[in-house]
């Protein structure tokens, strides 16, 4: 059986024109012969794209050929080759250069009419596909994937993908605007007069260290990434990430994410952070109506780790130091859940004394030292510092919970941040 694919071109000015694209002649005796094959589909798409692009450009150029003042046709100075890259194949074109008409009084004697239209030699959709897939896999895998399914240029390899993605990144970077230390939303009366905002937005911020490919002499080669997710009550959540030290406009980047979600001056924003110093700095002065809360997930997780360490202590009799320490840790958790930093701090200090007391008792009684006690004492001390550093961001989580307000990021939201972290 024979199939011929044609394209029918209809314009206002000329008669309809039919051009053949491809003929497929194939029996139908096995499953492999049923339907289009990838190679045929790619070749049809490429043929179709070539015809569409050539026809469109001819139609674009035709009316521009005449001088708008005297209607005389512009003379051609010459042509230069131009390759228009698209997801459906590259089209090789001859881009004309025309003489300007005498009556135009232009400073340029000649010009290229196509450069007004083809501001880039790559179709935006191809740039989009390259950037999108390069965010998920390596440059070489992206080149292979596109080669497999689309009639892209066979010369598209990892370096070309990298160059395209970097160019897109530079362009987006230039669009992002300058860094700003403070976003105060204008004067108080402007804020009050602003439109009624929608429901609150929660933004989760987590920092983490990633081992770099290069390890400079004397350094670890690790770099810090801050990843986040902005979750409106209504609408689509957005993720973002930045590399600290490298990023010159981190606040602007976060602010742009919020603006893209349509925040208004009176919008309530809750920043939930992991309590790291660098993460804490990021949302400061970013929005007039924002609150900064230490994500309960991180408090809960740290207390759980302390309990896990304490469970490694000797003896499990009722009333033993181990039981006592576990009970006290549960109290610390309870105080923090209700935002009572002072009592949590006191209890932690007592706990450190108690742990040190157990070490002393062991020594006096001639018992072998428990290494876990030293570890626990250090961990308690570190946790105390963490709590002190974040005291302003510890709230009454119990009350928030009862009011249905978010004070920790859900596990699915956290997964999307951590998967981003592991992917890079």
Both tokens of residue 53? 């692009």
DSSP letter string, 93-142? EEEEEEEPPGGG--S-SEE-GGGGT-SSSB-HHHHHHHHHHHTTS-HHHH
Which residues here bind Zn ion, judged by CB under 5 A? 67, 69-70, 101, 103
Angle at which helix 296-310 crosses helix 371-389, to 10 degrees, equals: 160
Q: Which of 68/221 has CB closer to Zn ion?
A: 68
Least separation in angstroms between CB 72 and Zn ion: 5
* Least distance in angstroms from the C-beta of 104 to Zn ion: 6
Nearer to Zn ion, 103 or 301 (CB): 103
Nearest distance in Å: CB 12, Zn ion:
25
Report which of 221, 195, 194 is spatially closest to residue 210, judged by C-alpha positions.
221
Least separation in angstroms between residue 111's CB and Zn ion is 14
Q: Which is nearer to Zn ion, 103 or 135 (CB)?
A: 103
Closest separation between CB of residue 110 and Zn ion, Å? Answer: 14
Rounded to a whole number of angstroms, the minimum distance from the CB of residue 71 to Zn ion is: 7
Please say which residue, 4 or 106, places its beta carbon nearer to Zn ion: 106
Residue placing its CB nearer to Zn ion in the complex, 71 or 189: 71
**Cα gap 118→422, rounded to integer Å:** 38
Structure tokens at 382: 């570190």
Check: CB of residue 50 under 8 Å from CB of residue 24: no
Token pair for residue 362? 């062991």
Helix ranges restricted to H, 266-396: 277-281, 296-310, 321-337, 341-364, 371-389
- Longest CA–CA span in the chain (Å) reads 110
Judged by beta carbon, residue 75 or residue 166, the one nearer Zn ion is: 75
């Amino acid at each position: 059986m024979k199939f011929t694919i044609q394209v029918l071109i209809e314009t206002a000015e000329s008669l309809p024109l039919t051009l053949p694209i491809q003929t497929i002649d194939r029996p139908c005796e096995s499953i492999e012969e049923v339907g289009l094959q990838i190679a045929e589909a790619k070749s049809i798409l490429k043929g179709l794209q070539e015809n569409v692009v050539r026809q469109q450009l001819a139609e674009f150029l035709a009316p521009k050929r005449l001088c708008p003042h005297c209607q005389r046709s512009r003379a051609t100075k010459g042509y230069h080759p131009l390759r228009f890259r698209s997801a459906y194949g590259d089209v090789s074109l001859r881009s004309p250069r025309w003489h300007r008409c005498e009556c135009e009084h232009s400073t340029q004697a000649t010009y290229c009419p196509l450069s007004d239209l083809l501001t880039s030699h790559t179709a935006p959709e191809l740039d989009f596909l390259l950037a999108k897939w390069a965010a998920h896999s390596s440059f070489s895998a992206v080149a292979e994937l596109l080669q497999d399914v689309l009639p892209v240029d066979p010369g598209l390899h990892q370096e070309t993908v990298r160059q395209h993605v970097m160019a897109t990144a530079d362009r987006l970077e230039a669009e992002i605007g300058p860094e700003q230390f403070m976003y105060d939303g204008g004067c108080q009366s402007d804020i009050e007069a602003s439109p009624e905002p929608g429901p609150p937005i929660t933004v989760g911020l987590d920092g983490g260290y990633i081992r770099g490919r290069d390890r400079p002499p004397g350094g670890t080669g690790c770099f810090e990434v801050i990843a986040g997710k902005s979750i409106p009550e209504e609408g689509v959540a957005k993720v973002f990430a930045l590399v600290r030290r490298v990023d010159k406009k981190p606040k602007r980047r976060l602010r742009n994410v919020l603006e893209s979600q349509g925040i208004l001056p009176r919008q309530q924003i809750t920043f939930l952070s992991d309590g790291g110093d660098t993460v804490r700095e990021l949302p400061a002065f970013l929005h007039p109506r924002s609150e900064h809360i230490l994500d309960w997930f991180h408090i809960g997780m740290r207390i759980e780790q302390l309990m896990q360490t304490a469970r490694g202590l000797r003896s499990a009799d009722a009333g033993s130091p181990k039981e006592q320490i576990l009970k006290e840790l549960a109290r610390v958790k309870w105080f923090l859940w209700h935002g009572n930093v002072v009592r949590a701090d006191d209890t932690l200090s007592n706990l450190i004394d108690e742990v040190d007391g157990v070490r002393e008792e062991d020594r006096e009684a001639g018992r072998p030292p428990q290494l876990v006690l030293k570890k626990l004492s250090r961990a308690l001390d570190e946790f105390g510092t963490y709590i002190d550093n974040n005291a302003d961001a510890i709230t009454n989580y119990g009350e928030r919970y009862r009011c249905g307000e978010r004070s920790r990021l859900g596990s699915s939201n956290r997964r999307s941040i951590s998967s981003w972290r592991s992917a890079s």
